[in-house]
Amino acid sequence: MDKLKIRNRLAKDKALLWTVCLLATLTAVPLFAILGEVFIRGYNQLSWSFFTEPTPTAYRVMKAIEAGTPIPGGIANGIIGTMLMLGMAVIFAIPIGILCGVFLAENAKNRYAQIVSYLTDLLQGTPSVIIGIVTYIWVVVPMKGYSAIAGSIALFIMMLPLIIRSTEETLKILPSSLKEAGLALGGNRARVMLKVQIPAAFGGIFTGVLLAISRVIGETAPLMFTALGCSFVRFSIDKPISAVPLLIWEFFNDPYLQELIWGASLFLLLFVLILNLTAKYLAKKWNQ
Amino acid sequence: MESVKPILEFKKTCVSYTKQTMAVKYVSAAIERNTITAIMGPSGCGKSTLLRAVNLMHNLYPNIRVDGEILLNNENILSMEPIDVRRRVGMVFQRPAPFPTMSIYDNVLSGYTLNGIRLSRNQKEETVEHCLQSVALWDEVKDVLNKKGTFLSGGQQQRLCIARALAMKPDVLLMDEPTSALDPIATAHIEELMQDLQKEVTILIVTHNMGQAMRISSKSMFMYLGELVEYGNTKDLFSNPKDERTKAYLTGKMG
Amino acid sequence: MNDKLYKILLFVATLTMPIVCGGVMYALVTDAYDAFEHFGFFKFLTSSDWNYTDGSEQYGALPFITGTLMTTLLALIFCIPFSLPVALFVGEYFNGTKIAAILSTVTDLLAGIPSIIYGLWGFYTLRPLIMAFDISPQGSGILTASLVLAIMIVPYAASLSAEFIKMVPNDLKEGAYSLGATHAEVIRKIVFPVAGSGIFSSYILAIGRALGETMTVTMLIGNTNNIPDSITSTGNSMASIIANQFGEADDLRLSSLIAIGLALFLITAIINMIGKIMIKRARIA
């Protein structure tokens, strides 16, 4: 009787272990399913011209369909647009984010800092579509038009809380002896921060920036209401501009351009995953 | 003849953490029923490791190997089901750790709950009262049985943990420096308690406190670098150690 | 640079946060005002009409609130049987081993995939499956969106839960083992009760993510403007109606969409705040 009960309990114990292993492994399946599908359907579209040519015009598409040749064109306009907007967003988000992070790390108990910290959480949790709406109201409407500036402001707002948090957290785990030693040597707080603490925290902050970029680079909804999209390569910041995720959305909605979806998705997916893996690798390396 | 038979017997017991390092080396010793045996030695000598082998705690960690034999009532526990062994060999740890999500009442009965054994209401109340009586905690907590065990003082928590182990009616109770986290008054309380408990259960206690070993135990082991150096009646071991290393330890020249 | 200037510089930089957050609130409230004034605050949130024909314009948020709640709830239900095993795998069974590190890298990468790519995958892989199994004729709908949404929130729920599972003191686990419990019994009766509030709060934060997810839902929910009557029917969530119609809307319709945005913002903010407070409490305990 007792033996039977023990066997029963051990069977349950094994069953849980196997269930956990099975379900945990199943969770990994979507990653490989998505990677596989995007790769298989997209890799033969990747060619030199895919990266150098903009979205095909309706006329070129029609001709290709008539001739039975593959859809021409590529995503050059999207790549340029993404880089331009991301670049502008990063230039502002890095210094402001780091300064805010430093402030939060140095004044943890201060009432104002707690409010800023709470607002950072609030902004981080705000759905990106809301950021799109608000940027539309504050930037697109007054400027009387969609623009790269509007798009980059939306990206800036989304990146900011991520950079603030990673800076703050990295600075907080630095040994306080580092700061004290710097101050003891007669440096003032600004100098110690700039010459001692920030360099020591560089790894963590850099990782945070990479992750922030990988987070926002695939954002689509906020760009729909701000950058809008544009079918040719353009460098002006006050005009509508395209971006890679915007192109994917366009291709998705245009029955003639669906062939291009997978190449664009593969490019975006690889970019994001490589950024993620690099960040993870660097974080591990710097932690040692 | 039957009464002389040891309850627990180590036969060339070895414990190794890696292939190269052996924490316990070929220990052989027989433990008599209803005695208190103290295991002493400098830190790192393998005394806790030996103790934890008795309830197969090492099985939780895949890298640790236990070799040789450990006989409980003449049955080699190394080939038994761990959960069966652990029910018959209770353990009290260094730091008192009552389950924080359970009341005092439920903590005493936690062995049954964990093992999925159902008790009647009467059985439960009897067990709780009896176990708390035997650790001299009943009078202090009988009105607050529904409070969380973590509200108690350190000494009370440790006694609760002893009660929790006793509730399973073990043959052997292992105690791994049970008083090292407690103040002197709580320590005295627990030492006193152990004297009474040996009527019910055989106790094996690891301690780094020689006074404690002398006060409570009838038999003592001295371990050094994983080896069992000396084992005998506590009085003899303290008054007339046979090995130089034991002498050095007892006179404070080691550890 | 002297200390005073340094402090001022830091302070000025932090002003960005109140300005941006204030700007978000102000823009949403002022631009949603028209809709609330025209239909009445309560009526707007409880009306189920969404009609933009000129002359008989009528807007109400109820279908979208329902859509958001249904997708979020279903996603949560689908997410638990996977995120909990992942958390146990990483935080308990294989804590600290290489295989656990691999699984957490995999889930991290899952969290990194852009939502538009999840949408594509759902549309081209999952939707045909739903049709093939005859679950719904059109393939898209609340169910399809929720399934993909569930995959998207698994990483958040799992990694945070794993963190709390790892925090359960070894003393307690060994104590339970020493009483003869099996690993499964230790998990059920010690690990879950002790890590419970932390695990619970990680699901609250996962809900916060699911509520505002836009592109995936937009591509899979079917985009119809009535209250979904079953989990296989089509609908729209608060985020997806905005993504669908914002570009072409003006006047009252635009204001109504922004009003929905305001409601979504407030719901997410409240859920996230509750989650964060609970997490802080669970970490201290």
Per residue in A68-119, pLDDT (tens digit) is: 888 888 999 999 999 999 999 999 999 999 999 999 999 988 999 999 999 9
All residues of chain C having their beta carbon less than 8 Å from the beta carbon of residue A125 are: 208, 268-269, 272
Strands B227-233, C50-51: pairing kind: unpaired
All residues of chain B having their beta carbon less than 8 Å from the beta carbon of residue C177 are: 57, 60, 86
Chain C adjacent subunits, 3+ CB pairs under 8 A: A, B
Structural domain boundaries of chain B?
2-250
Tokens of A104: 């939060």
As a whole number of angstroms, the distance between CA C26 and CA C241 comes to 22
By C-alpha distance, which of A56, A54, A76, A75 is closest to A64? A56
| C156: contact with A, CB 8 A cutoff | no
Structural domain boundaries of chain A?
76-287
By C-alpha distance, which of B54, B74, B58 is closest to B172? B54
**Number of residue pairs across B and C with CB atoms under 8 Å?**
67
Q: Would you say A150 and A140 are in contact if contact means Cβ atoms under 8 Å apart? A: yes
How much is the ipTM here? 0.95
Check residues C12 and A285 and name the one with the higher pLDDT. Answer: C12
| Residues in contact with A23: Cβ distance below 8 Å, sequence separation at least 6, in sequence order | C81, C82, C85, C86
Q: A interface mutation test: which of C117, C223, C266 has the most A CBs within 10 A?
A: C117
Nearest CA in chain C to B168: C179
Q: B interface mutation test: which of C93, C94, C164, C178 has the most B CBs within 10 A?
A: C178
Q: C interface mutation test: which of B95, B114, B180 has the most C CBs within 10 A?
A: B114
**Residue C256 included in any domain:** no
All residues of chain C having their beta carbon less than 8 Å from the beta carbon of residue B84 are: 180
Residue A139 sits at the vertex; the CA angle it makes with A137 and A144, to the nearest 5 degrees, is 90
Residue showing tokens 């069953």: A15
Q: What's the first-to-final CA gap in chain B, in angstroms?
A: 40
As a whole number of angstroms, the distance between CA B194 and CA B217 comes to 9
CATH topology of domain B2-250: Rossmann fold (3.40.50)
**Residue C54 included in any domain:** no
Nearest CA in chain A to B115: A9
Q: A interface mutation test: which of B60, B80, B81 has the most A CBs within 10 A?
A: B81
Q: Would you say C263 and C238 are in contact if contact means Cβ atoms under 8 Å apart? A: yes
Instruction: Tell me the residue range of the domain where C221 lies.
Output: 68-243+270-284
CATH 2.40.10.10 correct for A76-287 = no
Cβ-defined contact of C180 to B116 (cutoff 8 Å): no
Check residues A148 and A283 and name the one with the higher pLDDT. Answer: A148
Residue showing tokens 């094996």: B204
**Residue C249 included in any domain:** no
Question: CA of A8, closest CA in chain B: separation in Å?
Answer: 11
All residues of chain A having their beta carbon less than 8 Å from the beta carbon of residue B115 are: 9
Please provide the DSSP assignment of C165-205 as one string.
Answer: HHTS-HHHHHHHHHTT--HHHHIIIIIHHHHHHHHHHHHHH
| A6: contact with B, CB 8 A cutoff | yes
Query: Residue C119's domain is classified under what CATH number?
Result: 1.10.3720.10
By C-alpha distance, which of A258, A253, A241, A247 is closest to A218? A247
All residues of chain A having their beta carbon less than 8 Å from the beta carbon of residue C28 are: 130, 133-134
Q: What pTM did the predictor assign? A: 0.94
Q: Extract long-range pairs of A120-124: CB within 8 Å, 24+ residues apart.
A: A120/A161, A120/A164, A120/A165, A120/C17, A121/A161, A121/C272, A121/C273, A121/C276, A122/C21, A122/C269, A122/C272, A122/C273, A123/A157, A123/A160, A123/A161, A123/C17, A123/C20, A123/C21, A123/C24, A124/A161, A124/A162, A124/A165
Nearest CA in chain B to C183: B60
Nearest to A38 among C89, C117, C269 (CB): C117
Residue ranges of chain C whose pLDDT lies below 50 = none
Cβ-defined contact of C180 to B84 (cutoff 8 Å): yes
Nearest CA in chain C to A33: C121
Q: How many domains does chain C have?
A: 1
As a whole number of angstroms, the distance between CA B245 and CA A126 comes to 69
Q: What's the first-to-final CA gap in chain A, in angstroms?
A: 54
Cβ-defined contact of C20 to A269 (cutoff 8 Å): no
Q: B interface mutation test: which of A4, A7, A8, A9 has the most B CBs within 10 A?
A: A9
Tens of pLDDT along chain B (255 residues) come to 344 678 999 999 999 998 788 999 999 999 999 999 999 999 889 999 999 999 999 999 988 999 999 999 999 999 999 999 999 999 999 999 999 999 999 999 999 999 999 999 999 999 999 999 999 999 999 999 999 998 999 999 999 999 999 999 999 999 999 998 889 998 998 999 999 898 889 999 999 889 999 999 999 999 999 999 999 999 999 999 999 999 999 988 775
Q: Would you say C218 and C141 are in contact if contact means Cβ atoms under 8 Å apart? A: no
By C-alpha distance, which of C149, C144, C146 is closest to C126? C144
| C130: contact with A, CB 8 A cutoff | no
Strands B219-224, B36-40: pairing kind: parallel
Could you give the strand order of the β-sheet that contains B65-72, starting from the edge strand earlier in sequence? B75-76, B65-72, B8-16, B22-31, B227-233, B219-224, B36-40, B202-206, B172-176, B89-92
Question: CA of B117, closest CA in chain A: separation in Å?
Answer: 10
Residue showing tokens 């366009």: A250
pLDDT score of B255: 58
Question: CA of C191, closest CA in chain B: separation in Å?
Answer: 10
| C123: contact with A, CB 8 A cutoff | yes
Per residue in A2-52, pLDDT (tens digit) is: 788 899 999 999 999 999 999 999 999 999 999 999 999 999 888 899 999
Q: Would you say B35 and B218 are in contact if contact means Cβ atoms under 8 Å apart? A: yes
Residue showing tokens 């209803």: B34
Cβ-defined contact of A9 to B84 (cutoff 8 Å): no
pLDDT score of B1: 39
Chain A adjacent subunits, 3+ CB pairs under 8 A: B, C
Torsion angle of C-alpha atoms A54, A55, A61, A63, degrees rounded to 10: -10
**Residue C2 included in any domain:** no
As a whole number of angstroms, the distance between CA B75 and CA B69 comes to 9
Which 8-state DSSP code applies to residue A188? -
CA separation (Å) from C125 to A34, B23, C110, C140, C210? 9, 56, 17, 11, 21
| C170: contact with B, CB 8 A cutoff | no
Task: Tell me what the mean pLDDT of segment A129-150 comes to.
Answer: 97
Cβ-defined contact of B83 to C169 (cutoff 8 Å): no
Cβ-defined contact of C176 to B110 (cutoff 8 Å): yes
Residue C31 sits at the vertex; the CA angle it makes with C28 and C36, to the nearest 5 degrees, is 95
| C179: contact with A, CB 8 A cutoff | no
| A277: contact with C, CB 8 A cutoff | yes
